[in-house]
Chain A
Amino acid sequence: MSESGPGVIRFLLSSLGHLFRGGPLYWAWVILLTAITLAGGWHYYLQLRDGLVVTDMTNQVSWGLYIANFTFLVGVAAAAVMLVVPAYIFHRKDIKDVVLMGDTMAIAAVTMAILFVVVDLGRPDRFWHLIPGIGRFNFPESMLAWDVIVLNGYLLLNVGISFYIVYNHYRDRVPKESRYFPWVLLAIFWAISIHTVTAFLYSANSARPYWHNALLAPRFIASAFASGPALMAIGLQLIRKVSDYPIRQSVIDHLALVAAIALQVTLFFILAELFTEFYNEGEHAASARYLFFGLDGHTALMPWIWTAVALLAVALLILMIHPLRRHPVYMNVAFVLTVIGVWIEKGMGLVIPGFVPTPIGEIYEYSPSMTEIMVSLGIWAFGLLLFTLLAKAALPIQCEFLKRMREAERVQLEDADIPKPEGDSYAAGRVRA
Chain B
Amino acid sequence: MSDRDDEPKAASGGQARRRFLKGLALAGGAGAAHAALGAWGGKTLSDAFADFFQEHYQRMTEAEVRATIARIERKVQQRYGVSIECDTTPPHEGVLFGYAINVSKCRGYRDCVQACVKENNLSRDTQYIRVIEMDRDSTDLRHGDHYYDHEQVPVEGKYYLPMQCMQCSNPPCVKACPVEATWMEPDGIVVVDYDWCIGCRYCMTACPYQARHFNWGSPDLPAEEINTKTHYLGNRPRPRGVVEKCHFCVQRTRDGRMPACQEACPTGARIFGNLLDPDSEIRYVLQHKAVFRLKEDLGTEPKFWYFRDE
Contact = CB atoms under 8 A, between A and B. Distances in A.
A322 interface: no
Contacts of A52: 199, 214, 216-217, 241
B216 A123 contact: no
B198 A127 contact: yes
B207 A207 contact: yes
B210 A358 contact: yes
Contacts of A63: 201, 205
A125 B51 CA distance: 10
Interface stretch (A2-10, A142-150, A378-386): A142-150
Nearest to B142: A361
B85 to A, nearest CB: 26
A130 B180 CA distance: 10
Given A121-B198, A122-B198, A361-B140, A51 B240 contact: yes
A129 B172 contact: no
A142 B201 CA distance: 13
B17 interface: yes
Interface in A19-68: 50-53, 55, 57-60, 62-63
Nearest to A361: B142
Interface string B170-184: 001001111111000
Contacts of A122: 197-201, 214-215, 240-243
A208 interface: yes
Given A53-B216, A206-B172, A129 B198 contact: yes
B20 A134 contact: yes
A429 interface: no
A137 B177 CA distance: 9
B181 A142 contact: no
Given A62-B204, A359-B209, A359-B210, A207 B242 contact: no
B196 A136 contact: yes
Contacts of B181: 129, 136
B213 A59 contact: yes
B293 interface: no
B179 A137 contact: yes
A126 B52 CA distance: 7
A135 B181 CA distance: 11
A283 interface: yes
A145 B178 CA distance: 5
B143 A208 contact: no
Interface residues of B, number: 52
Contacts of B197: 122-123, 126
A143 B178 CA distance: 8
B176 A144 contact: yes
A141 interface: yes
B204 A129 contact: no
Contacts of B56: 129, 136
B237 to A, nearest CB: 15
A395 to B, nearest CB: 37
B217 A123 contact: no
A360 B132 CA distance: 10
Contacts of A283: 140, 142
Contacts of B141: 360-361
B146 interface: yes
B200 A51 contact: no
Contacts of B196: 126, 129, 136
A362 B210 contact: yes
Given A123-B242, A136-B196, A206-B172, 17 more contacts: A51-B217, A52-B216, A121-B198, A122-B197, A122-B198, A123-B241, A129-B196, A130-B178, A137-B178, A142-B177, A144-B200, A145-B178, A204-B206, A205-B205, A207-B206, A207-B298, A359-B208
23 contacts: A51-B216, A52-B199, A52-B214, A58-B216, A63-B201, A120-B200, A122-B197, A122-B215, A122-B241, A123-B198, A123-B241, A125-B52, A127-B198, A129-B198, A138-B178, A142-B175, A143-B202, A144-B200, A205-B206, A355-B205, A359-B210, A360-B146, A361-B142
